[in-house]
Amino acid sequence: MSAPLVQARGLAVARGRRPVLHGVDLTLGAGEALAVVGPNGAGKSTLVRALAGLLPAAAGSVIVEGQPLSAWSRDHLGRVLALVTSEDHGPDALAVEDRVRLGRFPHRGPFRPWTEGDAEAVRRALDQAGIAHLCRRPLGTLSAGERQLAALARGLAQQPRILLLDEPAAHLDIGHQLRLFRVLDAVRATGVGVLAVAHDLPRAAAWATRMVLLAGGRVAAQGPPDAVLADPACAGAFEVSVRGHRVPGLAHPLYWFEEDTRPPAS
């Protein structure tokens, strides 16, 4: 088995004086689809930003391709790892194509001239995200979902080996969600490791090869998605009852969630 692309070892992170993550261990391998799920306030966004080097570790470490984050320069890391967030929209007046071009900056630096290779990477990213027809539109004229796809295209233009996404399906209708995950699968097929924070548990389970459940800043369960959703820790974290039903011809069970109205145990 090859070494992980990204590994967190006993990772602890604080926001100000407030501890958010506590001893998190996880790995992301080449070509893997890893979904990070958990209730609001579980630390999912903090985790993905710490993995990207945007938040320092209070304890533990993050290893990227065998080297600690501290060993990577920002530009060098940007040629290997891309982070896309639901707030990553860019200035309203900026054209979509120019927004996506910013993904090439780690490869070019401040002085290297624009190359045909850069232009091709931008064209491919726009096509993959399905927004080539929007390339000259100002970001401020786009819908929230279209702006989210522009942010994804910027990340794809980096041509990373590691793609981290925080709520990539936020603001997307069902059709665009299906396209998004199809794009992510095509990216994974080239060996890119993809980690996505997700709120939609059934959709995350249908897409991911592995799932990590965060609760209270700790890993409460991890493994194959079906096993994580069936774990009592999942029901406890979301305060729901979880039911799954297998349907002939479907690769994954159908899940539904009901509010847990039982009184707490005395």
Residue 174 lies in a domain: no
Residue 203 lies in a domain: no
The stretch 143-158 carries a mean pLDDT of: 93
What pTM did the predictor assign?
A: 0.91
Residue 231 lies in a domain: no
* One-letter amino acid for residue 18 of the chain: R
Half-sphere CA count of 155, side-chain side, radius 13 A: 30
| Domain assignment of residue 108, given as a range | 85-159
pLDDT at residue 246, as a whole number: 73
Tell me the per-residue pLDDT of 84-105, one tens digit each, with 9 for 90 and over. 997 777 889 999 999 999 999 9
Residue 74 lies in a domain: no
pLDDT at residue 57, as a whole number: 96
Of residues 23 and 253, more confidence is placed in 23
How many separate domains does the chain show?
1
- CA dist 243 → 197, 259, 261 (Å): 22, 12, 15
Residue 35 lies in a domain: no
**Token digits for 156?**
């794809």
Residue 138 lies in a domain: yes
CB 196 within 8 A of CB 168: yes
Residue 24 lies in a domain: no
Question: What whole-number percentage of the chain has pLDDT above 90?
Answer: 70
Residue 79 lies in a domain: no
Of 173, 157, 155, which Cα lies nearest the Cα of 88?
155
Tell me the per-residue pLDDT of 194-241, one tens digit each, with 9 for 90 and over. 999 999 898 899 999 999 999 999 999 999 999 999 999 999 999 888
Res 2 pLDDT > 90: no
Res 179 pLDDT > 80: yes
Of 64, 58, 96, which Cα lies nearest the Cα of 82?
64
